Structure 1
């Protein structure tokens, strides 16, 4: 039995070692002589560039950058270039170039490399940010507020950990437009990329260490500009924009930025979905970055200037009828405050439109009812005003979108279970007059009761989390119970991510995947057969869409969440392989499968049942390898163990992803309680795993969960191999006895 072998191997292990890679000492060379600031300004200026985002209405943003290769590579911040924006590079001499490709980008590091068609440029030399010292003199260069090329001198204040990333803190002001410019030492070598300004003082800034840029240069993930311009663009089949602004869509979130062209910055984004006749409802969840602005729902829209709007504005809820292009033709039907609205947070808006009235709700509470019938029919969608940035989720149209109330008997049964869980300790109602008879004592009572309620809230939150985890486990098990060809591995991987994050909208990512399938379904190379299809998939994923292996923080849980892999186009070998294999399967490409090689998961393919096995290293942007080449790279013997090259099952892939997540928690030295849900999920999928069973028994005991620990130890005893060492069985018996005595 597999679990018997595992059990024996688990008990025979003494310790687990951690391998550390030895660092190579840098070559020692004499540093070039320091220069004056004036000398540096003169010599560096030809290497500086100004980067302009070009939108429908002209310039949408300005930032800085610098040349890193003579053949047209420009370094800058990722936030400087945004998404789906045309980019123009202005050189020191005033010449301009259009960006032809995003040669490399990294969301986590906020760094990007741009490619322009130019030769003979003057690159800046890259220094070593690992050798910088506190107090070293530095200079920063850029285009503050777009005002040409400027220079400022200061000192390196410190190296700081900012959100888990080491950054260079500098005592120089970083203004809008400086982002992406170089931070240099007094020899003119780049030490970092200017990236953000301190919120505490204007004379304090930060830069991303240049050594991180070197990684991007060595391992690019190029995306041609034609493809970059489609990233985040709102789906024209589902939405029609009106009156400008910038509407983008990413991971199920529609974002509206910049003022619209209408009066008051008005802009609309209308759904192409048909609105029901007579009575209908629309709903969305919206969050405003600035409550002085406005954003929300629009309905009964004629595609021009006539429509209704229901939206938060200035902390109130407003219903307006727009009959024309300016404020003189607008009628505010209601403008009311509501305790149900939560400023600065995501709020649920819903509107019910009937032939004779309009009813508006926020977070389930009715706030406005109007008998205005001036407009009916038309389209529905989203609206925004002024300069506020707004995020919209879960837009929907229907005849009744109200949350269905629970049946009384169901609600009563569930509430009783919850009350049992929190060991109900109902308080006695008291009037203020009664409390004032002894206010000091009453306050003590209230404080005590508040603390009890806070403890109950903590318990209820944990119960809510565990309910969600078990619901996800149930869905994963149902998917894995299907016949192997019918298992949707992509959905399983997204459910695994949602197990940790309930906010993930799985349908959104499945639709994104369907769009990728649609891009390739009629491609002639895909239809030619396995080998041409593999080459086309490689170009599509790694050259046209920039997917790549994680360059930093390899063990981060983000690399194991498929939703984040799709968003950031960065992941582990196994998560990138899941995307590759599922895309091939959806396109009908035969003979492509996952291969669980020791040390690195890869994609395998055969040109026909008898064809020779070939490998795709998805972590290295689709590098094609023979089995012999991969064995030389991954093994000391130059040969793989038996079974390593066999196609693996989807359940095995999911378990490997799950164990990667467990490793990330353990490596981060997080609490035992945080890692326990992963063990529970592993054992739900594979109940025979003795290694995880033993680990969970130990964790449960340390957490004081004696009943659970006894359950796992009892399983280990029951499933102990008949020929197992007697002393190990005795050890299990003693363990069980100690658990009974505790």
Structure 2
């Protein structure tokens, strides 16, 4: 139990993040006076490069600009320019081509990247200080628009404004495709920003990220060797075989496809390498299209070339096609039907059942079509896409019978009756068509009111669905953490916290992803050496040097995504507690029993004990600082310097999974910008700690702020009934009575 008076202070320090904004360093190459645009062009040209993203077949997939920022090969650009899991080439101003050897730093929030090539003695552009930028200041943008080499455009700073949560420099300069990643210079030749996106409002308006954001990446890089970068987001080739082009990638449980396939109509397949199923069989996948004009879904009975069936949404309908060859003349559309069960713009579960004589196709457990077609049998199962479709797939299954969410008719009737009772008091009575046509003006008014009522009911049902999901997740979390000292469920518990806010999160997929990471290391000689210090050092190198995991930078540390473990695994960026959970889970799977978490004030760390000279010696690992190894005295001195607190003996002890999840939840309550956003995390805290008077009182006040007086009274009544020590019960009773 935490003293109530210290609740606010504890919440403020719970994130453990104390970062000073980096001050720009003086660049000796920077000019001290203004130059003409002609002079700047001549001086900057040797530092400008073309960055090319290379596809699987060796062809160019994307092209952008970059600029040299260090003489030993570092180049700044946009993250979207280099893509994911792709080879990258850089062309210097002299025409020479160079392979990128390392992705030195990335930040998906800022869309910034720093890459490295092997060439030395390069000409670097000096970095300025974007805090000194003034509206109306003249600037020059350099780039390679539309793939053309080296263009120069002069303009001015229009404004400094927030765009999608990031502070951007708005420039009155036309930005074209290929300019992304280029430098924005002042008239002294200093970089003020990195050109990053084109305004959707006008062709003569662009944006750039500030150079001080780029400095954050330089000061806290997350280097990833190229051989490791090429595996990020790549499909597991033991499980999947992409065919006929397009870009198939994977982030934990979600497969993504982008770009046109090489087959006719942009067709591309991605077939499972599991043993082909025997007939009869079922296959299913949940798919979401970027645009409803696209087409992507299930492929089955595939020969690995051009022959297969496809069941997929296309232009809002559900289509079943038999593909007997490479072109449209050998294709047979067996069914093309709309279904009220299909949810446009949302995730939809497709399922097929293939028997000897018929094929049944379902969307969201509703039968769409049943065809007596025996043209193809046997073969493999997988995914397909057509045209320029962008799509995401998850929960792929194949077997004699796959699991699905279909409910019995009796249960459906019961649930519908419950929902009807729930909504009965909100809807107006139905009118017959004859009455509507007799009074068309009045009917239109009535129908508009009915539509408004239905929208209110839909919002009410969504809120109810969200509440059902969150309460179910809270129950799961309590169950998972029933044994407070059991480390085996820590990762699952942290993923449940993330799933609390994202009902679509596939926790098992992320657990499997971490298991695959552990399998990469299980036979490593440093891991199996029997030395905890060697194994911990190897694990730190694997995470922070080879895979680019890193602590969140500057203002992004309170971004909720850094507390959601699935996004930490996807983006390889987090806060101390989430990065520690990843380190601890891998340690557990690798059998490193002496590695544990330490809940230090203001900075969660990992520690391990190892036998030396007859005693157990403790070493700390600061996972937020790139896996830095510290002696206990160094770590505790850092805590005193950053928080002013002295580490107690209890804080040196191993933290239980329950304590770590609670700390994660306290972080989330402190990061939430509005009272209503912190309530779900307070609910989870009280699900785990129902007798915590501090959080009970905190939730009562938060409920009052959001207008939930009945909920606030419920919490205050609980406090009056339990009468915990340290509370002024008379004041609580007076507050209760006032509500």
Aligned partners of 1:479 and 1:345: how far apart in 2? 30
User: Counterparts of 1:352-367 in structure 2 under 5 Å?
Assistant: 352-367=353-368
User: Once the two structures are superposed, what CA deviation does each residue of 1:139-163 show, in whole Å capped at 9, x if it has no partner?
Assistant: 1111112222221112221112101
State whether residues 426 and 457 of structure 2, in contact with CA within 8 Å, keep that contact through their aligned partners in structure 1.
Answer: no
56-65 or 404-413: which moved more? 404-413
* DSSP-derived class of the 1:593 partner: strand
Q: Equivalents in 2 of 1:45, 1:258: separation in Å?
A: 33
When normalised by structure 1's length, the TM-score is: 0.92
Instruction: Determine the structure 1 residue equivalent to 2:50.
Output: 50
Once the two structures are TM-superposed, the CA of residue 440 in structure 1 deviates from its matched residue by 4.0
Secondary structure of residue in 2 paired with 1:199: coil
Q: Deviations over 1:661-685 (max 9, x none)?
A: 00011xx2x2x33322211211110
User: Which residue is 1:493 aligned to?
Assistant: 494
Are residues 72 and 703 of structure 1, via their aligned partners in 2, closer, same or farther at CA, if it must alter by over 3 Å? closer
Kindly indicate whether the alpha-carbon contact (under 8 Å) linking 2:543 and 2:549 is maintained by their aligned counterparts in 1.
Answer: yes
Q: 1:263 Cα shift? A: 2.8
In the superposition, relative to structure 1, how do residues 628 and 413 fare at CA in structure 2: closer, same or farther (>3 Å)? Answer: same
User: Residue 31 of structure 2 contacts residue 190 of structure 2 at CA under 8 Å; is this kept in 1?
Assistant: no
Which position in structure 1 is the counterpart of 2:592?
589
Q: Which residue of 2 aligns with 1:236?
A: 237
CA displacement, residues 88-109 of structure 1 (integer Å, 9 cap, x when unaligned) = 1110001111111101111111
Please, which moves more after superposition, 84-93 or 478-487?
Answer: 478-487
CA RMSD of aligned residues (A): 2.9
Contact 1:275/1:398 (<8 A) preserved: no
Cα drift, residue 291 of structure 1: 4.8
Q: Distance in 2 between matches of 1:238 and 1:212?
A: 39
Q: Which of 604, 609, 619 is equivalent to 2:607? A: 604
Per the alignment, residue 651 of structure 2 pairs with 644
Instruction: Report if aligned partners of 1:69, 1:122 keep a CA contact under 8 Å in 2.
Output: yes
Contact kept? 1:295, 1:390, Cα under 8 Å? yes
The match for 1:661 is 668
Cα 1:94–1:461 shift into 2, 3 Å: same
Question: 1-side partners of 2:402 and 2:700: how far apart?
Answer: 46
Does the CA-based 8 Å contact 1:104-1:221 persist in structure 2?
yes
Q: Distance in 2 between matches of 1:503 and 1:21?
A: 33
Deviations 1:574-597 (A, max 9, x none): 111111111101110121111011
Q: Which has the higher contact order (CA 8 A, sep 6+)?
A: 2
Task: Name stretches of at least 5 consecutive residues in structure 2 with no aligned partner.
Answer: none
SS of 1:304's equivalent? Answer: coil
How far 1:21 moved relative to its partner? 9.3
Give 1:444 shift. 4.1
Residues 155-174 of structure 1 correspond to what in structure 2 (within 5 A)? 155-174=156-175
Are the equivalent residues in 2 in contact too, given 1:628–1:638 (CA < 8 A)?
A: no
For 1:144, the equivalent position in structure 2 comes to 145
SS of 1:612's partner is strand
Which whole-Å CA distance do the structure 2 matches of 1:86 and 1:520 have between them? Answer: 25
In 1, are the aligned partners of 2:48 and 2:66 still within 8 Å (CA)? yes
**Aligned partner (choices 676, 700, 704) of residue 703 of structure 2:** 700
Say which of 535, 538, 544 aligns to 2:540: 538
The one-character-per-residue Cα deviations of 1:464-490 (angstroms, maximum 9, x if unpaired) are: 111111100010011111362354100
1:714 and 2:721 aligned: no
Matched residue, 1:39: 39
Residue 574 of structure 1 pairs with residue 577 of structure 2:
yes
**1:632 counterpart residue number:** 637
**Equivalent residue pairs, number:** 727
Residue pair 1:282, 1:352 contacting (<8 A) in 2 also: yes
Counterpart in the other structure of 2:522: 521
Distance in 2, matches of 1:24 and 1:512, equals 35
| Cα separation, 1, equivalents of 2:646 and 2:575 | 23
Tell me the alpha carbon deviations over residues 165-194 of structure 1, each in whole angstroms, 9 at most, x when there is no partner.
111111222222111111111111111111
CA contact (8 A) 1:632 1:638 kept: no
Q: Which residue of 2 aligns with 1:101?
A: 102
Specify the SS of the correspondent of 1:53.
strand
Question: Structure 2: how far apart are the matches of 1:116 and 1:735?
Answer: 66
Query: Which stretch of structure 1 is more off in the superposition, 280-289 or 561-570?
Result: 280-289
TM-score by length of 2: 0.92
Structure 1 partner of 2:377: 376
2:551–2:624 CA contact under 8 A, matched in 1: yes
Structure 1's 333 and 456: CA in aligned 2 closer, same or farther, altered over 3 A? closer
Kindly provide the CA deviation profile for residues 345-396 of structure 1, in whole angstroms up to 9, marking residues without a partner as x. Answer: 4433222222112233334443433322111001011112233323222222
